Amino acid sequence: MTIRYPNGKVFQASSNSPSKKTGPTLYGNRGMSLEDDLHDSNMYYLHQGIAVVHKKPTPIQIVDVHYPKRSAAVIKEAYFKQASTTDFNGVYKGRYIDFEAKETKNKTSFPLQNFHEHQIQHMRQVVKQNGICFVILMFSLFNEVYLLPADKLFHYWDRKESGERKSITKQEVERDGYLIPQGYQPRIDYIKIIDTYY
């Protein structure tokens, strides 16, 4: 199946896409992806009455469907209706929450190419409206998950845009971000960090 962005470019799934699992991961979460862990954490928050946070659906326009059997349909071509913003949004204690989740196997830095200009613009707008906005970054080889506030991310993005470093060093993430406790329920307790930072 071919999926295209609004500008016509063909979508290429990233190597850390949940749909491209190549076997169990090394970080002790039974092969689940970061997004799976966040989904489970969000369901825990919802059922405990702590917060309401969901993954945003990606709007897709289907343009070509084949029917090899009467009871089956195969999507052959589709387009993203619009550029996606961030992965998750919701509400916590009366405030809007909006965040993106990314993971890397890189040991020393987090590549900024994992973000897109429209996502940064969206996050700036959320921050301007006093929303709680951040990114969750996972260094999968270390089993470390960090919450990096959006205003800190903007500094590194602007640095990249001015022609400097194209990544955030792990030391910078450790300094400007917050290591998120991992456990059973919730798996990734980012609300605990929100209570501290915001």
Report yes or no: 24 and 31 within 8 Å, Cβ to Cβ.
yes
Give the global pTM: 0.73
For the chain, give the number of residues.
Answer: 198
Domains, the chain, ordered by start: 30-57+84-197 (3.40.1350.10)
Task: Give whole-number Cα distances, 49 to 42, 52, 84, 95, in Å.
Answer: 10, 8, 28, 15
pLDDT in tens, 75-115: 777 665 555 678 899 999 999 999 999 999 999 999 999 89
In angstroms, the Cα distances linking 96 to 4, 64, 174 are: 30, 37, 25
Q: Does 25 appear as a known binding residue?
A: no
Q: Is 117 annotated as a binding residue?
A: no
The tens digit of pLDDT for each residue in 7-42 reads 566 666 554 444 433 433 333 333 458 999 999 999
Q: Is the pLDDT of residue 54 over 60?
A: yes
Does 87 count as an annotated binding residue?
yes
